[in-house]
Amino acid sequence: MIEGIGLEYFLILSTIVFFTGIYGFLTRKNLITILMSTELILNAVNINFVAFNKYLYPEKLEGQFFALFVIAIAATEVAVAIAIIISLYRRLKTIDVEKANEMKY
């Protein structure tokens, strides 16, 4: 708990980060940027976990554990996603999502 800074500031920050991520996820065509946007979304959630844990249930640790868990999952997810993107690039010579439409018709 940090003196003088209320819970609502953390929530406002996480909301901003979350919608930044959503915006990037929806508008960007570059796969790497889309991946980065999903990381932003996950981090917004992490901020919420830690903040709620600290301000509402300071005697418990579940929120912090969950944040650590999400970080670990995010790391593996990045590994898998990067692998996919690399193999896609080798095949198509591009990482633009709209160009990856070979299976469409």
Among 22, 47, 74, 81, binds another protein (CB under 8 A): 22
Tokens for 90, please give them.
Answer: 């080798």
**Rounded to an integer, what distance in angstroms lies between the CA atom of residue 73 and that of residue 62?**
16
> Counting contacts by CB under 8 A, is residue 80 touching another protein?
no
User: Which one of 22-30, 45-53, 64-72, 79-87 is the stretch in contact with another protein (CB under 8 A)?
Assistant: 22-30
Q: Which is nearer to another protein, 5 or 103 (CB)?
A: 103
Among 13, 20, 25, 36, binds another protein (CB under 8 A): 25
Cross-strand bridge partners of residue 30: 96
**Rounded to an integer, what distance in angstroms lies between the CA atom of residue 91 and that of residue 79?**
19
User: Which one of 2-10, 21-29, 59-67, 68-76 is the stretch in contact with another protein (CB under 8 A)?
Assistant: 21-29
Longest dimension (CA), the chain: 59
Q: Which is nearer to another protein, 23 or 65 (CB)?
A: 23
Q: From residue 39, how far is each of 7, 17, 24, 51, 73 by CA, in Å?
A: 23, 10, 11, 18, 11
Q: Which residues bind another protein (CB under 8 A)?
A: 22, 25-27, 34, 97-98, 101, 103-104
